[in-house]
Homo-oligomer: A and B are copies of this chain.
Amino acid sequence: MKRVPRYVWIPVILALIAVPAGFWYVDWSRGGAGAGLYSRAWMPEAVFAYWDPADFYAAPESLGGSFQGEQCVQCHQAVTPGIVNDWRASRHSQPKGRAPVYCSDCHGSDHQSLHLPTPEVCGGCHATQHVQFEDEKRLGFPSHALALERALDAPHFVDKPKAEVSACLQCHSVAAKCDSCHTRHRFNAAEARRPEACITCHSGPPHPDDETFYASAHGRLYLAEGDEWDWSKPLVRGNYKAPTCAYCHMQAGRHQVADKPIHKFGIRQVNPLTSANAVKRRQWVELCSDCHEAGQASAWLAALDAERKQAWQMLRGAEAVLKDLRAEGLLYPNAGERPPYPNSTLDRLLPKARIGFYEGQASAFYNVSPIERDYFEMWYFDNLAAYKGAAHGDAAMVKRGHAALEKDLQAIRAEAQRLRELGPVRPDPRPLWFSGEYTEHNLENN
């Protein structure tokens, strides 16, 4: 038998070492006291215990003993009457044809090792909803089911001061607990059908779903008359005078939100005319036809396509300006001059400028040159405001968003010209993120 040649066995053996080593490294990275890819580089704040209970919650040692449902209720009626009242008003306390679902069924009975229910706990009874919710994962991010994981795996999530990251986690915890939408302890479907269930998180830049829905004709109807609608009815044709978030995005109560939008989150340019999008378009037209003429729905979607095209024309204009500057070496600080992300070995070895979705997404929040930050804001704030305005029917926001995009593009061009005039002459780097309290704070405190 002939000897296996060197150019075969060396790569094979290297691969046999490298692949398990890679898995082992990722596994090891995730095995620290924190959570996610950088679990060894940071410790959670105390409040994280309530946003990511599966990873961090530890029951208080207030009271020993094991208690059954009725006992929990009796005692907590006095201690925390509000949440007991909510439970009493819920279906959990008096379900049709079965025994009540008591505190202990979700939190456990041993008072010194109580837990906060994760989606898996709720999924024990509500299997359909849980499966639908988890199914979002195959669509990647943005999606609810991956909101926490992908956030914790991003280097800037770990690098930024916790004061800011805590704000992020407050919403990204939607993946880890059902009471982001179904507030405890009533867990009423009627409540979760209302837009307020969604907009606790879906508000403000970069996703003013709140503002844009409320400013639309649909939203105005909800604001004026929504209190009189019968929210116990399912989200189907004929039950509501106007649609709300869930009516369109969780049709008939399906717990899967991320698969229908054609332009996804608006953060990258998509071709709205692919065959996959043709299917989504039909789904939308059919949905709108619950109340509107199909022609109007199609025309509206076409107008949205046009809005996106126009927005991207400006965004790509700005991207081109930045890429030219990078090619000319005029970004300051350029990739090599910036302080590397403390946790990113790769960034240290291969620093690169971060421009736009594919290059810069997560990282452009800070630690970049001013003109990169300007583009980031154009792309992530003004662009998404315009998109949400167009998608939800808030005409004023479309106008405002596009006016902002036009102004951003003009400002980026003017700044590029100024940088060209300045040429390779470099200002003292101190005023930037290169050093100073902020960066030092990051390096020391995470």
Contact = CB atoms under 8 A, between A and B. Distances in A.
Interface of A: 45-47, 49-50, 60, 80-86, 161-164, 166-168, 170-171, 183, 186, 191, 194-197, 199-201, 203-205, 210, 215-217, 220-221, 223-225, 227, 237-241, 289-291, 293-296, 298-300, 302-303, 306-311, 313-314, 317, 365-366, 370, 373, 389-390, 393, 395-400, 402-403, 406-407, 409-410, 413-414, 416-417, 427-428, 430-433, 436-438, 441
A197 B224 contact: yes
Name A's interface SS. helix
A407 B373 contact: yes
Contacts of A427: 417
Contact of A227 (B167, B227, B314): B227
A165 to B, nearest CB: 9
A225 B191 contact: yes
A203 B394 CA distance: 10
A164 B299 contact: no
Contacts of A409: 438
Contact of A200 (B215, B317, B390): B215
A166 B399 CA distance: 9
B45 A395 contact: no
Contacts of A183: 217, 221, 241
B224 A200 contact: no
A82 B291 contact: yes
A365 B163 contact: no
Closest 3 CB pairs of A and B: A81-B238, A204-B396, A413-B431
What's the number of copies of this chain in the assembled complex?
A: 3
Contact of A313 (B395, B398, B441): B441
A163 B223 contact: no
Nearest to A427: B417
B417 A303 contact: no
Query: Which residue among A47, A163, A313 has the maximum number of chain B CB atoms within 10 Å of its CB?
Result: A163
B238 A82 contact: yes
12 contacts: A45-B303, A47-B302, A80-B290, A82-B241, A85-B238, A162-B306, A163-B307, A163-B390, A199-B220, A410-B431, A410-B432, A413-B436
A163 B410 contact: no
A239 to B, nearest CB: 8
Given A196-B224, A237-B81, A317-B436, A417 B396 contact: no
A298 B310 CA distance: 49
Contact of A205 (B60, B400, B441): B400
Given A201-B395, A299-B47, A396-B203, A311 B82 contact: no
Contacts of A393: 170
A295 B196 contact: no
A310 B436 contact: no
A104 to B, nearest CB: 16
A428 B438 contact: no
A387 to B, nearest CB: 11
